[in-house]
Structure 1
């Protein structure tokens, strides 16, 4: 089988029906974008705003706002990576990092406005970043998809949650051990398949949770 090599543009007279349809659709898409009124980044082809009931159904900012620290930490790391490979200048990266740090402080202080229409924490941070930095802020998403960003946020959040829970679990384990010291003379029935099987000491029962 030989490969097909195309050089230059395909003559108009030789375009297939599929190619003609694509050109027509692309032209219509440009016209729709010029008439778009929605401010959503994905809403370039829409000529009316999203129904508020749909926004209430699809929003996640009411619960994913808790990901703001991880989202900003991932974006700061990404900005520094882009600068290290020359896709951002050092000045651009510094501006992005400083603005992201300002946004993080504003959210932590309760001075950041959350809006249902902006859907999620990623959109909120991105929107404010680009409002303050313009095209420099938009460069942050070079070489990164939203799916990359979401997956990274979740992983970082779980890691941080584990770090928070470990000392609390250790405190709970210590409480069970301390309880054992006062319950050595307490005998309880041990159950197997909901039936009493043998007597066990209460400390044996407490330590089962450690």
Structure 2
């Protein structure tokens, strides 16, 4: 069995797979937006700046950040930007990410399927791209963790080969298989597929 953790903007969704089927799902009201809010408050910077800092400099484990690493943080109220240690950012992100993963672990044990998750954890969603998330997940769950990269998709591989699009790709492929059009989903010139992913790309750009 394996557990998929989709860390999105507003929620973290969980799915436990055993014997090729989903046996448990749950959703937690925490995600990347909370990380951004924590950064904005902790560094006293606008939310838009906090989001950029999270994407560019965020790290989920302080131990992976160099002691001399610094970041430039925009101030509020027209004040000049400040240069701070990147470890301060890590001290904000790591506890929140650890909290999210601990809540997921609680849900896993609540499901009663924790003994069957022997193949580890697969991480998807925009926040899973952050350095240190895999290492932190392995520490929390005490099992192997890896990022979920969409596989067996043609045509737009350069766009969708990312954990951000893993859920969307899976839904499209499953839907295509149900309607007998899985072969079309792998076609380079499938206009509908391209149109759908163009829309998905813009949606994800807004939320992640």
**TM-score when normalising by structure 1:** 0.24
More contact order relative to length (CA 8 Å, sep ≥ 6):
2
Structure with the higher fraction of residues in strand conformation: 2
Higher radius of gyration, 1 or 2: 1
